[in-house]
Amino acid sequence: ASYLDSVPLGPPDAILGLAQNFRECAAAEKVNLVVGAYRDGEGNPFVLPSVREAESRLLARGETKEYAPITGSPSFVQRALAFAYGEECEALTSGRIVGVQTLSGTGACRIAGEFFARFLPKGTTIYVSDPTWGNHIPIMELSGLTVKRYRYLDRSTNSLDFDGYMSDIEQAPAGSIFLIHACAHNPTGVDPTTDQWDSISKAILAKGHHVLMDCAYQGFASGDAEFDAGAIRRFVADGHSMILAQSFAKNFGLYGERVGTLSVLTASKEEAARVLSQLKLIIRPMYSSPPIHGALIVNEVLGDEKLRSQYYDECAGMAERILQMRALLKSELIKAGSTHQWDHITDQIGMFAFTGMSADMCDALTKDYKIFLTRDGRVSMAGINHANVAYIAKAIHAVTD
Ligand code: PLP
């Protein structure tokens, strides 16, 4: 007998399991609305031409495969942080923001969780939005934090439960952590307005809460990376105790390259140095150092004026296609005869639309129409295109009528 005899079979990942079911489905009309990755107008994965150009430059230059430092490529980190915080950010230029390269947004969240667990008082709770990206919860629990939820989505209107959110900030014990999506909230696509951000920021400050800002869609949401960084920059200006997790998976289409950063806003250069030393101690025994290829690509794109401006256009193109599909899905639903209120589809932003469909409705879409989606009614807008939108709208109308 082996100890492996008693290893139980774990459940499949909720989202990746559905993606597998989609692959195994033989129906010609099948549609994948699960995937959290951009697809072009023909439904195919998309590599940005600016990314291709950067790769060919790296190849031509003969980049080596040497190890990166524990904290990753310094020049990548510097450019990535300027992209998020803004070139002019005083905290950045004065050296008060300390950053490291991470294994995309997931890795950044994991290190943030570990850092909080080590240096905040034992028993500190992290509040995540209800609902949130599913992985946030196990990431934070495995880091040793207590996870609770704050109200976020008003399920009767599929919009922000602003009063619930504010009251949960108020009721959380002072010095808790709030995990906030910087833009394009996943899975709801519901973001606070500028005025609401103001109030949220003030309320969090008043209670002395800490913030983990998770930024997985900068530029991908509105098409304007500066606009999408609004919440991050406001929180820095307001003087929060904040850690930022930054992913380049969606906005650069670098999903499998695992490229991101984690950064901590500190009070002084001296504090920044202490924090950095501890981040290194967390990273070294986990994975030694991050992979280099994705960081080289982002560094090349952001560091070259021409490539950078080409990149901005390409990223805006992805956002634009998604916005068009939102408008088209809504109009096709109306055309199909649906009399429900679908304004939330165009009010929401980012990769996903949170339709408000029940689990039973989602099951019927999959069973009867071979349309695959998560059972919370979340639809990946990236999976929608001119060829399938009418079919999807008719099917949604049929199961929601
Ligand atoms: N955070 C949020 C809110 C996300 O939606 C995602 C991806 O779906 C991530 C983090 C992490 O993605 P990655 O690890 O690929 O950067």
H-helix or E-strand spanning residue 287:
helix 269-287
Q: Ligand 1 pocket, 223 CB below 6 A? A: no
pLDDT of residue 239: 96
Of 109, 133, 248, 257, best ligand 1 pocket probe by most atoms within 8 Å of the beta carbon: 133
C-alpha of residue 240 to centroid of ligand 1, in Å? 23
Looking at ligand 1, which atom is closest to the CA of residue 351? 5
Residues linked to residue 127 through DSSP beta bridges, in sequence order: 148, 178
Of 109, 135, 181, best ligand 1 pocket probe by most atoms within 8 Å of the beta carbon: 135
C-alpha of residue 258 to centroid of ligand 1, in Å? 10
Q: Which of 161, 168, 191, 214 is catalytic?
A: 214
Q: Ligand 1 pocket, 247 CB below 6 A? A: yes
133 given a catalytic annotation: yes
- 3-state DSSP call for residue 72? coil
The 10 Å Cβ neighbour count of residue 324 is 16
**Tens digit of each residue's pLDDT (9 = 90 or more) over 207-238:** 999 999 999 999 999 999 999 999 999 999 99
Q: Are 46 and 385 in contact (CB under 8 A)?
A: no
**Tens digit of each residue's pLDDT (9 = 90 or more) over 181-195:** 999 999 999 999 999
Looking at ligand 1, which atom is closest to the CA of residue 109? 10
C-alpha of residue 334 to centroid of ligand 1, in Å? 32
**Tens digit of each residue's pLDDT (9 = 90 or more) over 318-357:** 999 999 999 999 999 999 999 999 999 999 999 999 999 9
368 given a catalytic annotation: no
Triad 258, 262, 266: Cα angle to 5°: 170
Q: Where do runs of H (alpha helix) occur along 172-268?
A: 194-206, 225-228, 230-237
CA 262, CA 245: separation in Å to the nearest integer?
A: 5
CA quadruple 309, 314, 318, 323: dihedral positive or negative? positive
**Tens digit of each residue's pLDDT (9 = 90 or more) over 10-45:** 988 888 889 889 999 999 999 999 988 999 999 999
Q: Which of 183, 210, 207, 215 is nearest to 197 (CA)?
A: 183
Q: Ligand 1 pocket, 73 CB below 6 A? A: no
Looking at ligand 1, which atom is closest to the CA of residue 214? 1
What are the tokens at 214? 């998770």
Helix axes 104-119, 269-287, angle to 10 degrees: 110
Mean pLDDT of the chain: 97
pLDDT of residue 312: 98
C-alpha of residue 105 to centroid of ligand 1, in Å? 5
Residues linked to residue 246 through DSSP beta bridges, in sequence order: 215, 261
CA 114, CA 108: separation in Å to the nearest integer?
A: 10
pLDDT of residue 245: 98
C-alpha of residue 248 to centroid of ligand 1, in Å? 9
Q: Give nearest CA residue, ligand 1 atom 12.
A: 105
Whole-structure pTM value? 0.96
Q: Which amino acid is at 175?
A: G
Work out the average pLDDT over 361-370: 96
Q: Ligand 1 pocket, 249 CB below 6 A? A: yes
Q: Are 84 and 73 in contact (CB under 8 A)?
A: no
Confidence of residue 126 (pLDDT cuts 50, 70, 90): very high
CA 198, CA 121: separation in Å to the nearest integer?
A: 28
**Tens digit of each residue's pLDDT (9 = 90 or more) over 292-307:** 999 999 999 999 999 9
Looking at ligand 1, which atom is closest to the CA of residue 260? 16
Looking at ligand 1, which atom is closest to the CA of residue 104? 16
Confidence of residue 200 (pLDDT cuts 50, 70, 90): very high
**Tens digit of each residue's pLDDT (9 = 90 or more) over 69-112:** 999 999 999 999 999 999 999 999 999 999 999 999 999 999 99
C-alpha of residue 247 to centroid of ligand 1, in Å? 7
Q: Give nearest CA residue, ligand 1 atom 9.
A: 105
Q: Ligand 1 pocket, 260 CB below 6 A? A: yes
Q: Are 84 and 246 in contact (CB under 8 A)?
A: yes
CA 48, CA 360: separation in Å to the nearest integer?
A: 37
Q: Which of 168, 191, 228, 250 is catalytic?
A: 250
Give percent of the chain with pLDDT exceeding 90.
97
330 given a catalytic annotation: no
C-alpha of residue 71 to centroid of ligand 1, in Å? 20
Distances (CA, A) of 199 to 318, 320, 351: 31, 29, 26
pLDDT of residue 300: 98
Q: Where do runs of H (alpha helix) occur along 96-161?
A: 104-119, 136-142
H-helix or E-strand spanning residue 102:
strand 97-102
C-alpha of residue 106 to centroid of ligand 1, in Å? 6
Q: Name, in order, each residue with C-beta under 8 angstroms of 100's C-beta and a sequence gap of 6 or more.
A: 70, 71, 72, 77, 111, 261, 262, 263, 276, 279, 280, 283
Triad 63, 67, 73: Cα angle to 5°: 75
